Structure 1
Amino acid sequence: MKSTANLLTPTPSAYTYPLLIKQLLVNAMSLHGDQEISYRGQMRYQYRDFQRRIGQLANALTRLDVGAGSTVAVMDWDSHRYLESYFGIPMMGATLFTVNVRLSPAQILYTLQDADTDVLLVHTDFLPIIAQIRDQLPRIRHIVVLSDDGQVPAAGMDVAGEYEALVTQAPAGYDFPELDENTKAVTFYTTGTTGDPKGVCYSHRHIVMHAMATALSLCSPGGTQRLHRADVYMPITPMFHVLGWGLPYIAIMLGLKTVLPGRYLPEVLLKLRETEKVTFSHCVPTILQMLLLGADKTGQDLSGWKLVIGGSALPPSLCEAALAKGMDVFAGYGMSETGPVVSLALTPASGAPATREEDLRLRCSTGQPSLMVDFRVVDEDMRDVPRDGLTRGEIVLRSPSLTPLYAKKPQASEELWRGGYLHTQDLAVMHPNGVVQIVDRLKDVIKTGGEWVSSIEVEGLITQIPGVQEAAVIGVPDDKWGERPMAFVVAATAVSAALVREQLLVHVQAKRLSAYAVPELARICLVAEIPKTSVGKINKKLLREAAPATV
């Protein structure tokens, strides 16, 4: 029970300063009003224009009957329109719903219905999808078209108008209300590989606390890996996915030049990196691989580009390739349910690692907990496992930026928060210095011959083989051993299944890997590509479904 003794009662005239998204703009607009926001290098305006346009967006939406409690969905690539929606919609007291445009039409329909969407802002690229399902969305009162050229193509349905026209024609002044900081600000949906997507909800307080804690964690290092006000920021994680990892809010809060790249095309990203002098980004490993391959073709210099890598484990071989290009890459960890950032693989305050190998190991680790995150690795009885770098346990969390529930799913919400901690279902070990290393997902760990095998560990060793671009390892049923590992490998023609097995056996001989972790030759599959989820993660569910036919 919370104690009410010794509560501080403010004087009636005191402003209690609720933690609202609009407060993230205060310092930025006061000190950095002439800072620039660029969309694909083709449209530019200053922060003071951004603030004006937020007010115009709110007035335009008010004319479409949007108010407190309304839900406004956005389907767009990373754009100035999305950034304006990040602020303007929740600042009205409405809820921003960031739609995952890479879901199937059926899943997009489900999420639009489940989120109780009232108004939809949709890019012209996605109008055909909406046209297919419009008659199943009677709650949506208005559709606004997002267009890069100002044109509204024939959509086969009624639209309220084009975004830019509606915004520029609306008055600038808007009196954003004082909200309770626990007002729901944002909803988006997880992209799990089983069941319907689950709605993750965040309040103004959650978003502001995540921005402050993550910014302080990123700005505090003394050497490399440090985010600072001279950086030029470009997201390479979709703004529909966990709010672009929360970094767009941080960039505006700090007053950074912000470059929005639209749809992610490697040649566009590399061009913007060069022309806009981008220094700080974040992406998943598959995008980093694409950037490196693109730079190899053009000879482009990537030195000085700081990248946080998340979504899945950062393979040491990929990290080493990026470091060889002069990039400053390091891992971050989080989930849709965690805000998302809860740990970062930053160089320790005591100094740089002593060797290149130690530096690589740290950069590819799950990292150390971010500020204000109660980060535990526990056994089945919720007891902390020893910090010995060996004993495995599940990561459980508390912090001021974790989602408190799944929308309309009380049972799943309670399961997520059982025992008062958010359960990640990630297995990890913790080292004496507090550095965490995820060894696998609970659902992906392989039990074979009485031993637990980490699919992540085997994947990392396979990707170290020259010529291997990507690898995924799953467990498949086996009559004798219960399960056996099966590897899917994307590689150059010089790589064979026999070579992969041979190299893994070298690690067994060196006692770096259990013999049980090495797949049989028939279970090493060379493939052209590995299926991904809508946010670029390896889709192991599809691999498991394909496995019986492959063996």
Structure 2
Amino acid sequence: MQGLMQDWPLRVTTIIDHAARFHGDREIVTRSIEGPITRTTYGQVHLRARKVAQALTRLGIKEGDIVATMAWNTARHLEAWYGIMGMGAVCHTLNPRLFAEQLIYIINHAEDKVIFLDLTFVPILEGIADKLPNVKNYVIMTDRAHMPETKLPNALCFEEIVEAEDGDFKWAEVDENAACGLCYTSGTTGNPKGVLYSHRSNVIHSMAANMGDALGMKCADAILPVVPMFHANAWGIAFAAPAVGAKIVMPGAQMDGQSIYELLDQEGVTVTAAVPTVWLMLLQHLEKTGAELPKLERVVIGGSAAPRSMIEVFEKNYDVKVFHAWGMTEMSPMGTLGALKAGMEDWPLEKQIDVKVKQGRAIYTVEMKITDDDGNELPSDGKAFGHLMVRGPAIAGAYLKGEGGNILDKDGWFDTGDVATIDPQGYMQITDRAKDVIKSGGEWISSIEIENLAVGHPKVAEAAVIGIAHPKWDERPLLIVVAKEGQEPTKDEILRYMEGKIAKWWMPDDVVFVDEIPHTATGKIQKLALREKFKDYTLPTANAAE
């Protein structure tokens, strides 16, 4: 017997429709690319998104076509997102931090027909436009007064094409399973692969993200999404915030500690989300100026593991609740969030932080397990660690154009490429990327755990750990350190600091100091580059073993 409920397609346009109707005067604040702080509302964004859809129709874009954006977090970018998706096209977010060769590959592979871009990125696209045969128009997201001289072919001014329309546009009535968003993985091995989101998957992800133990946003919240819209859907915030009518504060291109602090303070931000490197800059600014965070209630940290020391500073010094998060492009992206379970709020803070350093519990709509190399499920005892497997309605079932072949196992599980533990309470902790695990004497060593410990040293700004070949143990850990400005830590004092905090056989065999650690386009430590740099490095313990 079938149910007798209405068939109401889950399209992302229902989100912005809801925001405009019930929260039409709620503010969206932007630090604009041109400089000034600008203010608009959900009502205005809704109208201008329909104008974007009209303008794209006039440019010959049809349902199913792919339209790209290369832009910071701004209200204009939000208008472009909903306009593109609302007319039935697919919004392809381009990461400007990628190399030119990667961008050329991605744009041509996706067959982008129009690219919306911020002023910042005009030079990037000018440099590769002659290699992008499918792109018919470049829409520069500014007004006529700030429109640059450009070599881009068929360049248009965003404000001019938007204001030329009247907004009398009816959203395309596409199937809820129709594609609406496209984001490529960072491609650490081989070419980047396209993850194609549907209207349905994005709406389901937004509802899951807004649950109380996830982002838990409310209309009364003001959220600052520092995580960029060009990376993994801005963790879904561009959909989840309008769904509840929360105020959005867009940081534009300014990600430094002072700029982020100004927006947090002046706009009454209650919740914010970013990768650890952003919070490191903010905490350094706070330490330098003595400023505080009286309005900020919670910080979501993801992208890479948050060091315990960072969580402690937020919680102890600024009374801000930290929520560790984990996910990936293929998961829309949210997979886990580190909310405490019933009774844990009464625990001493140190015991709470023991839980918060883990990546958190699976949100509803995400199934999760760990397996051994043969695919056998391992116990959730907090000790066994294995391959992290996931499945759910907002998780990729294949890559665009079949790249990578079949990416699911026989039961529909997706291998995340992470190695993790899951404890009896359901908290998952990433111990490493499968390819970054250090295999020493037949046992696995977590590079992430050593890195997080090292960063807790007061003289260390950043740390990375890689495996170096060893004649007796196959691999042993090498700790690579960037010192804090003005500090000169020694190998011995860092190793003394670490002693007793990790297993003795996990201790690094050597420590080297560098000026900087390379990062991927999404801000993660580039272990591949480090392994290449140190491929001929000889550990001091290697000679003794021979």
Q: State TM-score, norm by structure 1.
A: 0.92
Contact 1:233 1:280 in 2 (8 A): yes
How much does 1:278 deviate? 1.1
Structure 2 residue identity aligned to 1:526: F
Give the counterpart of 1:518 among 494, 504, 507.
507
Structure 1 residue identity aligned to 2:402: K
- Name the structure 1 match of 2:497: 503
Matched, 1:249 2:242: no
Structure 2 residue identity aligned to 1:27: H
Give the counterpart of 2:526 among 524, 535, 539.
539
- Name the structure 1 match of 2:349: 356
- Give the Cα separation in 1 of the matches to 2:524 and 2:288: 25
Contact 1:304 1:328 in 2 (8 A): no
- Name the structure 1 match of 2:322: 329
How much does 1:346 deviate? 0.3
- Give the Cα separation in 2 of the matches to 1:150 and 1:407: 39
- Give the Cα separation in 1 of the matches to 2:405 and 2:237: 26
- Name the structure 1 match of 2:75: 80
- Give the Cα separation in 2 of the matches to 1:416 and 1:82: 33
- Name the structure 2 match of 1:548: 535
Contact 1:58 1:89 in 2 (8 A): yes
- Name the structure 2 match of 1:176: 171
Q: Which moved more, 1:359-368 or 1:147-156?
A: 147-156
Contact 1:304 1:326 in 2 (8 A): no
SS in 1 for 2:397: coil
SS in 1 for 2:233: helix
- Give the Cα separation in 1 of the matches to 2:323 and 2:171: 38
SS in 2 for 1:472: strand
Contact 1:446 1:475 in 2 (8 A): yes
- Counting only pairs closer than 5 Å after superposition, residues 108-507 of structure 1 correspond to structure 2 as 108-147=103-142, 150-218=145-213, 226-266=216-256, 267-305=258-296, 306-323=298-315, 324-410=317-403, 412-417=404-409, 419-492=411-484, 493-504=487-498, 506-507=499-500
- Give the Cα separation in 1 of the matches to 2:234 and 2:49: 19
Q: Which moved more, 1:290-299 or 1:334-343?
A: 290-299
Any gaps of 5 or more consecutive residues in structure 2?
539-546
Structure 1 residue identity aligned to 2:272: S
| CA gap 1:476/1:419 in 2 versus in 1, 3 angstroms | farther
SS in 1 for 2:461: strand
- Give the Cα separation in 2 of the matches to 1:134 and 1:373: 40
SS in 2 for 1:317: helix
- Give the Cα separation in 1 of the matches to 2:222 and 2:324: 19
Structure 1 residue identity aligned to 2:515: A
- Name the structure 2 match of 1:46: 41
RMSD: 1.8
Structure 1 residue identity aligned to 2:385: R
Contact 1:316 1:364 in 2 (8 A): yes
- Give the Cα separation in 2 of the matches to 1:418 and 1:259: 43
Structure 1 residue identity aligned to 2:504: A
SS in 2 for 1:415: coil
Contact 2:68 2:115 in 1 (8 A): yes
- Give the Cα separation in 2 of the matches to 1:18 and 1:226: 24
Contact 2:66 2:111 in 1 (8 A): yes
- Give the Cα separation in 2 of the matches to 1:46 and 1:260: 13
Contact 2:336 2:363 in 1 (8 A): yes
- Give the Cα separation in 1 of the matches to 2:48 and 2:181: 20
Contact 1:145 1:159 in 2 (8 A): no
Contact 2:265 2:295 in 1 (8 A): no
- Give the Cα separation in 2 of the matches to 1:122 and 1:86: 12
How much does 1:160 deviate? 3.9
Contact 1:236 1:264 in 2 (8 A): no
- Give the Cα separation in 1 of the matches to 2:25 and 2:47: 13
How much does 1:215 deviate? 0.7
Where has structure 1 moved over 6 Å in runs of 4 or more?
Answer: none
- Give the Cα separation in 1 of the matches to 2:266 and 2:358: 32
- Give the Cα separation in 2 of the matches to 1:434 and 1:171: 51
Q: Which moved more, 1:334-343 or 1:130-139?
A: 130-139
How much does 1:442 deviate? 0.9
Give the counterpart of 1:17 among 8, 11, 14.
8
SS in 1 for 2:127: helix
Structure 2 residue identity aligned to 1:333: W
How much does 1:321 deviate? 1.7
Contact 1:151 1:162 in 2 (8 A): no
- Give the Cα separation in 2 of the matches to 1:239 and 1:357: 34
How much does 1:413 deviate? 4.4
- Deviation per residue, 1:6-52 (Å, 9 max, x gap): 345x6xxx851111001113432222111111111621112111111
Q: Which moved more, 1:102-111 or 1:417-426?
A: 417-426
- Give the Cα separation in 2 of the matches to 1:134 and 1:398: 38
- Give the Cα separation in 2 of the matches to 1:150 and 1:15: 49
SS in 2 for 1:394: strand
- Give the Cα separation in 1 of the matches to 2:123 and 2:249: 28
How much does 1:303 deviate? 3.7
Structure 1 residue identity aligned to 2:277: T
- Give the Cα separation in 2 of the matches to 1:470 and 1:501: 15
Structure 2 residue identity aligned to 1:30: R
Any gaps of 5 or more consecutive residues in structure 1?
1-5, 220-224
Structure 2 residue identity aligned to 1:294: H
How much does 1:368 deviate? 0.8
- Give the Cα separation in 2 of the matches to 1:154 and 1:451: 59
| CA gap 1:528/1:483 in 2 versus in 1, 3 angstroms | same
- Deviation per residue, 1:145-166 (Å, 9 max, x gap): 1226742212113334210111
How much does 1:197 deviate? 1.0
SS in 1 for 2:47: helix
SS in 2 for 1:212: helix
Q: State TM-score, norm by structure 2.
A: 0.93
Structure 1 residue identity aligned to 2:251: P
Q: Which moved more, 1:345-354 or 1:331-340?
A: 345-354
Contact 2:68 2:116 in 1 (8 A): yes
